[in-house]
Chains A and B, each alone.
Chain A
Amino acid sequence: MSTDRSDSDDSARERLIDLAADFYDQFAAGQIPEMELPTRTKSNIEYDENSDVWVYGDRTSTRSANSVRGARKLLKAIYTIDFLADQLGEDRSSTLRELYYLSESWDNEEAQFSDQDESNQLVEDLEIVSEVTREDFHMRPEESGATLMGPLYLREQTRRGEREIHCQKDVGEGGYQIPNNPDTIEFLDHDAEFILCVETGGMRDRLVENGFDDDYGTIVVHLKGQPARATRRITKRLHNELDLPVVVFTDGDPWSYRIYGSVAYGSIKSAHLSDYLATPEAKFVGIQPTDIVEYDLPTDPLADSDINALESELSDPRFQTDYWREQIELQLDIGKKAEQQALASRGLDFVTDTYLPERLTEMGVL
């Protein structure tokens, strides 16, 4: 997708204006302008067998100018379309938070956002109806993207021109910073065997310090908790374009399983982009509830919210596999959870010398 920039910008702009034109036509025909969106809840995502990811189902909800609420939403949408179209025309970009503050400057108070959730959601809505990604609108999230480290040589399109970077030799200990729109990257060469996505910074640093990326030809992607879109996107591209297996290494608690879920199957909020972001072939390394038992790891008891989350995962369509049902039920049974760092109870090298090689062999990655 790292094609000619202005082409993709033009098409994004065109799609936004087409959207506005739809509203215009509805008005002109004397109808009530409305916008139809898929219902964004857990019950309305379904498995797409063609792409092996989870996408929105058939249920839709309508934003209509019929009500004061709906009319305000549509007005904001049109103002946002206007803003985004201008931004694309001028080849500028902005963050989601900037959009929220920028709305304060709009002449019509009714069009201003009341909080950032509202503006974030509206951008997602526009992504869905225009079928253009936020990145192509030149909208960035606030937090800087995560990092990766490994035997990978790439070329990034930056504002200061093209840069060719080797993700071990040309970067510091912190690794290569993933840009907000990874589609501007071109992979040149690599020496990797597989991609290891790691949830916590502590574990990522441990792996880098122990030289795990060198020893096993691993591209270590730091997820930084729930992964940003860019992180998920680059993971998917690495998998698709370099044909590398992807494994996910997280804590052993329900929230971490969801991190794996969003890497592998797509998240509920961005199920419209699952095709673009999710890597269905990604495998879960651990910490698995069976590991807690097997390696006798130090644990914390499950909190009530953990139990609720586990139970909710049992009804989450993304976790409807024998493997996950078994693991979740086991965890509910033992009532315990463990962090990645719990492996340090067996020594600092245990994770790189024993746990990961064993697990990865077991999974057929090594």
Chain B
Amino acid sequence: MPSLQSTLDDEGVADELAASQRSISIAEFFEKNKHMLGFDSGARGLVTAVKEAVDNALDAAEEAGHLPDIYIEIEEVGDYYRLVVEDNGPGITTEELPKVFGKLLYGSRFHKREQARGQQGIGISAAVLYSQLTSGKPAKITSRTQGGEAKYFELIIDTDSNEPEVSVDETTTWDRTHGTRIELEMEANMRARGQLRDYVKHTAVVNPHARIELREPNGEFKAERATDQLPAETEEIRPHPHGVELGTLLKMLEATDSYSVSGFLQGEFTRVGTKTATNVIAAFTDRHYGREMAWRTPATHEADIEAAVTEAVANKGQAATDEFAGRVADAIRDHDRLAHHELATLVEHAAVATTDETGTTFGDTVQEKAVAAAWTIVRDDRTADLYTLTDEATSTRKDDGVIESFAERLAAKFDGEGQVRDRLRRETLEEYVERAAAMTAEREDVSFGETARENVADALWSVARTVPDDPPNVAAVADDRDTASALLSAMSETDIIAPPTDCLSPITADLVRSGLEKEFDADFYASATRDAGVHGGDPFIVEAGIAYGGDLPAEGSVELLRFANRVPLVYQRGACATTDVLKGIGWRNYGLDQPGGSGMPNGPAVIMIHVASTNVPFTSESKDAIANIPAIEDEIELAVREAARELKSYLNKRRSMQQRQEKQDVLGSILPEMADKLATVTEREELKIDDSLARIMNNVLVERRIENSHVELVVENNSGTSASPELTEIVSAEPTSVSDGARVVEMDGEWFIKWSPEVGSDDDSVLQYELADESDYDLDVTGIESAKLTVNT
């Protein structure tokens, strides 16, 4: 609190205030903002620490091409919890190790455009910091590189300087041949056990190539590998023009070796070739220089261009002047509209041609005069031209008089200072239209609305011509923020193909499925991987998977597993785009219960969503929820729907099989009763009704007919679709004359005859063979669901 005295003395206050100003270290900042990084409570801190360590471990092992083998141990040690995470990664060199763990914002990935789990280089060092702040103990790290000796470090982070402070650095022995082990002690509790287990289990789902083991005070969890296939290696890509911000662009402009903007674009960005660069530059010049208005050329009777040009040319001789003027006039008439630079070019051509013809030279001065004279005539009737353009661009309800006065006012704007070439930027053009419209609206007391103004500006801008001037070079752009901003706008408005996707490593639909199969015991699994999309220049891929039935709990809402770059998202489910998308889908269509027709569906299902991107947009730094980006939400929805369609057809099929089963059950009891009763009423022998049953059930019916040595197997398809059963007849004597190209294999005195007939709907197929001796028969039919098959042999 400054005293009265010092308030009078301004300089004193400033000095006093200045004395209390000082820089804060990143570590101090962390201390005050733990929640931003997911360390807001003891329970959560532990989960976050595990998460950061495991993410690092997976990334490390994969980068080195090893199948990850990760061991997590949590142990109660007095007042603290001890967390140990071991991996079989490549290990970290002695030089790097202290920085990796003991320095915030140190990492290899922040500047890369590549899909990776960690990105900012905050994660593991934040865990170290959290541990040292809560327990006061250093982080204990063991690391061994392939073929090297195991190193043991104890370190803390100096919170003032954000530098590692190593207290122990020695060689040790370790049973792993390579890898890293980190041991942290921290204030924590196991209240978030559920989340911890979920995290590990879900990590196992999306990393079917990893072996993960968790041991905690209350039990253990093991996830074995489902595949030996490492995720595809990702390629680092250059930035996409749609994905950079002005600051980044300026930095890139300063750093580049290119001289021209075109070279810069092609060299520094992905998906930019000559053609795209040309398009970007055209848009850039439009913004930077503006366009030149092109006016409708006058008809012959309206203006005597030849006369004007002739007048402008002096001392060139009658014949040559006539020739020149004629050429200029003809060339002008050949154009529908003409901009100033086009006129200059055509005058130059006329001059050269005339020189060739007559030998008279038409120098720059003469050309300039001729251009000036012709230009006056070309732009002379611009009011009429503007009238036509405006009339076409605005609604028919506008009065002719109004449009005429508007056109006059607009034409007047082109007479301002420095308006020789009628070159202007879009903003200027809009301003002209704006002012002319405002004036017209006021004077004529009519409305000239926003849309009409826009339409007129559009119409004018579209007839204006891009100027042929060279764009400013890289250095010039880099020096001027406005110019750079114009370049950025040009880049973002140009259509450019999506960035390549080899920088992404989706799990792939098959592995999503096997991941789910591995961790959830269900009846049905479906998965879908979408093609890559782009958001802000960063490519992304969405994958979805669904597991249904089996041991999954039938009560309550379905379980949603969320992943970003193969990392499970544990907290803030409600804030996540994936949750929003899921709630917005009409699940009843897909056979899941959804109370009220919206919100999370109910039923025995697990739905997983994975978003892979070079830059997954999160709602906050703790990376718990994916932000609501429309492009990503759309893809999430499509991926989920794709998998859900499979679920639907599975459920439908299951339902129809159930109905079929019910029908079969009911008929299976009714028809024999009927047959019995019929036999009683008619006083005849008992009936065999299998064949009738098969026909009734739309089944595939297989019957054997034997006549002496001739055996026939009749496959009758009573269903609505064609069937391709596989029939294997096992006989105890050698068969001959086997029909339909069947394969006959002898094994231990038994002959296996195998047919694979294709039997159309309501059709039958007769398979036959001869058998000389008495024989046993045994027929096995596969390839048709048993509920749909009746074998009557």
Interface residues of A (CB under 8 A from B): 17, 20-21, 23-24, 26-28, 30-33, 65-68, 71-72, 74-75, 78-79, 81-82, 85, 108, 110-111
Extra 5 A-B pairs, beta carbons < 8 Å, given A20-B682, A24-B684, A32-B696 = A27-B689, A32-B692, A72-B670, A74-B674, A82-B681
Q: Is the CB of B671 within 8 A of A71?
A: yes
Q: Is the CB of B681 within 8 A of A81?
A: yes
Residue interface mask B660-684, A partner, CB < 8 A = 1: 0011001101110111011111101
Contacts of B677 in A (CB 8 A): 75, 78-79, 82
B687 lies within 8 A of chain A by Cβ: yes
Contacts of B691 in A (CB 8 A): 30
Which A residue's beta carbon lies closest to that of B703? A30
- Residue of A21, A74, A111 near B682 (CB, 8 A) is A21
Q: How far is the CA of A65 from the CA of B671 in the complex (A)?
A: 8
A-B pairs with lowest CB-CB distance, top 6: A30-B691, A20-B681, A24-B678, A71-B670, A78-B677, A21-B682
Contacts of A67 in B (CB 8 A): 663
- Residue of A17, A21, A66, A78 near B674 (CB, 8 A) is A78
Q: Is the CB of B674 within 8 A of A82?
A: no
B695 lies within 8 A of chain A by Cβ: yes
- Residue of B663, B673, B695 near A110 (CB, 8 A) is B673
Contacts of A71 in B (CB 8 A): 666-667, 670-671, 674, 696
Q: State how many angstroms separate the Cβ of B695 from the closest Cβ of chain A.
A: 5
Q: How far is the CA of A30 from the CA of B667 in the complex (A)?
A: 15
Q: Is the CB of B687 within 8 A of A24?
A: yes
Q: Is the CB of B692 within 8 A of A30?
A: yes
Q: State how many angstroms separate the Cβ of B702 from the closest Cβ of chain A.
A: 13
Residue interface mask B248-260, A partner, CB < 8 A = 1: 0000000000000
Q: Is the CB of B695 within 8 A of A68?
A: no
Q: Is the CB of B695 within 8 A of A33?
A: no
Q: Is the CB of B674 within 8 A of A28?
A: no
Q: A17-B681, A23-B678, A81-B681 are in contact. Are A33 and B670 (CB under 8 A)?
A: no
Q: How far is the CA of A20 from the CA of B682 in the complex (A)?
A: 7
Between A and B, 16 residue pairs with Cβ closer than 8 Å are: A21-B682, A21-B684, A24-B684, A27-B687, A27-B689, A27-B692, A32-B692, A33-B674, A33-B692, A65-B667, A68-B667, A68-B670, A71-B667, A81-B681, A85-B681, A108-B673
Contacts of B673 in A (CB 8 A): 75, 108, 110-111
Contacts of A20 in B (CB 8 A): 678, 681-682
Q: How far is the CA of A67 from the CA of B663 in the complex (A)?
A: 8
Contacts of B666 in A (CB 8 A): 68, 71, 110
Q: How far is the CA of A23 from the CA of B692 in the complex (A)?
A: 12
Contacts of B680 in A (CB 8 A): 82
Contacts of B669 in A (CB 8 A): 110
Q: State how many angstroms separate the Cβ of A128 from the closest Cβ of chain B.
A: 19
Contacts of A65 in B (CB 8 A): 667, 670-671, 674, 692, 696
Contacts of A108 in B (CB 8 A): 673
Q: State how many angstroms separate the Cβ of A63 from the closest Cβ of chain B.
A: 12
Q: State how many angstroms separate the Cβ of A291 from the closest Cβ of chain B.
A: 55
Q: How far is the CA of A130 from the CA of B545 in the complex (A)?
A: 61
Q: State how many angstroms separate the Cβ of A105 from the closest Cβ of chain B.
A: 15
Q: How far is the CA of A111 from the CA of B672 in the complex (A)?
A: 13
Q: How far is the CA of A66 from the CA of B746 in the complex (A)?
A: 42
Q: Is the CB of A28 within 8 A of B687?
A: yes
Pair count A-B, CB < 8 A: 74
Most buried by B among A23, A24, A108, A111: A24
Q: How far is the CA of A81 from the CA of B680 in the complex (A)?
A: 11
Q: State how many angstroms separate the Cβ of B718 from the closest Cβ of chain A.
A: 10
Contacts of B671 in A (CB 8 A): 65, 71
Contacts of A21 in B (CB 8 A): 682, 684
- Residue of B662, B679, B682, B695 near A17 (CB, 8 A) is B682
Contacts of A30 in B (CB 8 A): 691-692, 695
Which B residue's beta carbon lies closest to that of A68? B666
B633-680 interface (Cβ within 8 A of A) = 662-663, 666-667, 669-671, 673-675, 677-680
Q: Is the CB of A24 within 8 A of B692?
A: no
Which A residue's beta carbon lies closest to that of B674? A75
Q: A32-B692, A32-B696, A65-B692 are in contact. Are A27 and B678 (CB under 8 A)?
A: yes
Residue interface mask B692-709, A partner, CB < 8 A = 1: 100110000000000000
Q: How far is the CA of A42 from the CA of B777 in the complex (A)?
A: 58
Q: State how many angstroms separate the Cβ of B793 from the closest Cβ of chain A.
A: 14
Q: Is the CB of B696 within 8 A of A66?
A: yes
Q: State how many angstroms separate the Cβ of B434 from the closest Cβ of chain A.
A: 68
Which A residue's beta carbon lies closest to that of B669? A110
Residue interface mask B214-247, A partner, CB < 8 A = 1: 0000000000000000000000000000000000
Most buried by B among A28, A81, A85: A28
Q: Is the CB of B681 within 8 A of A110?
A: no
Which B residue's beta carbon lies closest to that of A72? B670
Q: How far is the CA of A68 from the CA of B696 in the complex (A)?
A: 10
Q: How far is the CA of A68 from the CA of B691 in the complex (A)?
A: 17
Q: How far is the CA of A188 from the CA of B13 in the complex (A)?
A: 141
Most buried by B among A32, A79, A81, A82: A32
Which B residue's beta carbon lies closest to that of A71? B670
Contacts of B674 in A (CB 8 A): 23, 27, 33, 65, 71, 74-75, 78
Q: State how many angstroms separate the Cβ of B109 from the closest Cβ of chain A.
A: 64
Q: How far is the CA of A74 from the CA of B670 in the complex (A)?
A: 9
Which A residue's beta carbon lies closest to that of B662? A68
Which A residue's beta carbon lies closest to that of B673? A108
Q: How far is the CA of A301 from the CA of B53 in the complex (A)?
A: 92
Residue interface mask B432-444, A partner, CB < 8 A = 1: 0000000000000
Q: Is the CB of A27 within 8 A of B675?
A: yes
Contacts of B696 in A (CB 8 A): 32, 65-66, 71
Contacts of A78 in B (CB 8 A): 674, 677-678, 681
Q: How far is the CA of A20 from the CA of B675 in the complex (A)?
A: 10
Q: Is the CB of B678 within 8 A of A110?
A: no
Which B residue's beta carbon lies closest to that of A30? B691
Q: How far is the CA of A27 from the CA of B670 in the complex (A)?
A: 13
- Residue of B667, B679, B695 near A31 (CB, 8 A) is B695
Q: A31-B692, A32-B692, A66-B696 are in contact. Are A75 and B670 (CB under 8 A)?
A: yes
Which A residue's beta carbon lies closest to that of B663? A68
Q: How far is the CA of A329 from the CA of B680 in the complex (A)?
A: 57
Contacts of A33 in B (CB 8 A): 674, 692
Q: Is the CB of A110 within 8 A of B670?
A: yes
Q: State how many angstroms separate the Cβ of B330 from the closest Cβ of chain A.
A: 84
Q: How far is the CA of A17 from the CA of B681 in the complex (A)?
A: 7
Q: How far is the CA of A331 from the CA of B674 in the complex (A)?
A: 53
Which A residue's beta carbon lies closest to that of B691? A30
Q: State how many angstroms separate the Cβ of B349 from the closest Cβ of chain A.
A: 87
Q: How far is the CA of A190 from the CA of B574 in the complex (A)?
A: 96
Q: How far is the CA of A72 from the CA of B667 in the complex (A)?
A: 9
Which B residue's beta carbon lies closest to that of A21? B682
Contacts of B681 in A (CB 8 A): 17, 20, 78, 81-82, 85
Q: How far is the CA of A32 from the CA of B689 in the complex (A)?
A: 9
Q: How far is the CA of A20 from the CA of B684 in the complex (A)?
A: 11
Q: State how many angstroms separate the Cβ of A79 from the closest Cβ of chain B.
A: 6
Which B residue's beta carbon lies closest to that of A16? B681
Contacts of A68 in B (CB 8 A): 662-663, 666-667, 670
B68-117 interface (Cβ within 8 A of A) = none
Contacts of B689 in A (CB 8 A): 27
Contacts of B692 in A (CB 8 A): 26-27, 30-33, 65
Q: Is the CB of B667 within 8 A of A24?
A: no
Contacts of B695 in A (CB 8 A): 30-32
Contacts of B679 in A (CB 8 A): 24
Q: State how many angstroms separate the Cβ of B673 from the closest Cβ of chain A.
A: 5
Contacts of A82 in B (CB 8 A): 677, 680-681
Which A residue's beta carbon lies closest to that of B690? A30
Contacts of B682 in A (CB 8 A): 17, 20-21, 24
Q: State how many angstroms separate the Cβ of B720 from the closest Cβ of chain A.
A: 13
Q: State how many angstroms separate the Cβ of A353 from the closest Cβ of chain B.
A: 60
Q: How far is the CA of A75 from the CA of B666 in the complex (A)?
A: 12
